[in-house]
Amino acid sequence: MSRLIVVGATGALGSEVLRLALAAGHQVTALVRTPSKIQTEAQATEEQGDLRFLSPADLARIIGGHDALINCAGHVAEGQAFVELIDRLVTGVESLPIAAQPVCWFLAGVALLDIDRSGRRGIDLPRVGSTYWPHNVNFERLGRSCLDWRLLCPGPMVRQPAIGMNRLRISLDTWPLRVPAIARAIPGPLFLPVFAYMIPHVIVPYADAAALMLANLDRGGAMAHHRVGLALPAGMRGKKARWVARPRNAA
């Protein structure tokens, strides 16, 4: 079992990560702004701190000694503040000796994945990029780092029972579902309705997103330095209202 630190453990995804990690027997530290909001009966070590104000040195002190870090803090809707939060966290981990740096999971969204072999992404489409651009900036920041990072890129996430990792479609760097052949020839701006039509296939439960990260904590594993997508089983569509109008980390 791993010594795991969960950043943002009181949010919807973070609380699922915390719950499943403790159930699996991991030794867990929860870095949160408000420890009283942690909703679990199991015991986790609590570290109180606000990423907006912790220095890289403070973060290195808190993170040091852990095998893995899962970041669930920050929202893409916060724009530049989200970018600065991730940069501060990455810088903190980078300040540790390489041998002491934990495996790191960060969160982006499905718009960051390559849609097809042309390399175009949802983030390049009108309206999508204007909201989700921080994911690309964070991705570029990770690419410049020496960390053993992985970037989870789900669609919108929902509080529903887990589907199960053996049923979900999982991909590296590309969409986890096939784009219809006729749609691949549609030029840039006109592809937006196709992108929107595909979104229900990548609406996944928080529990499954948490389980995927916890199942891939090995240093240098197959998901290291990749964007990771996941989708519902073929033929299944999820529901989440107003996925564009009320953005969070994933889209």
Q: pLDDT tens digit string along 52-99?
A: 889 999 999 999 999 999 999 999 999 999 999 999 999 999 999 999
Tell me how far apart the alpha carbons of residues 228 and 53 are, in angstroms, rounded to a whole number.
Answer: 29
For 3-231, the fitting CATH number among 3.90.1580.10, 3.30.300.90, 3.40.50.720, 3.30.530.20 is 3.40.50.720
Q: pLDDT under 70 in the chain at which residues?
A: 35-42, 241-251
CB-based burial, 115-145: b 16+ in 10 Å, e otherwise: bbeeebbbbebeebeebbbbbbebbebbeeb
Tell me how far apart the alpha carbons of residues 75 and 100 are, in angstroms, rounded to a whole number.
Answer: 28
Q: What is the pTM of this model?
A: 0.91
Q: Quick one: pLDDT at residue 52?
A: 86
Q: Quick one: pLDDT at residue 244?
A: 40
Of 196, 24, 116, 132, which is closest to residue 124 (Cα–Cα)?
Answer: 132
The residue extents of the domains of the chain are 3-231
Tell me how far apart the alpha carbons of residues 109 and 128 are, in angstroms, rounded to a whole number.
Answer: 11
Residues with Cβ within 8 Å of 249's Cβ and at least 6 positions away in sequence, in order, are 13, 74, 75, 76, 107, 108, 109
Q: Quick one: pLDDT at residue 179?
A: 82
Of 214, 36, 195, which is closest to residue 125 (Cα–Cα)?
Answer: 195
Q: Quick one: pLDDT at residue 70?
A: 98
Q: Quick one: pLDDT at residue 130?
A: 92
Q: Quick one: pLDDT at residue 37?
A: 63
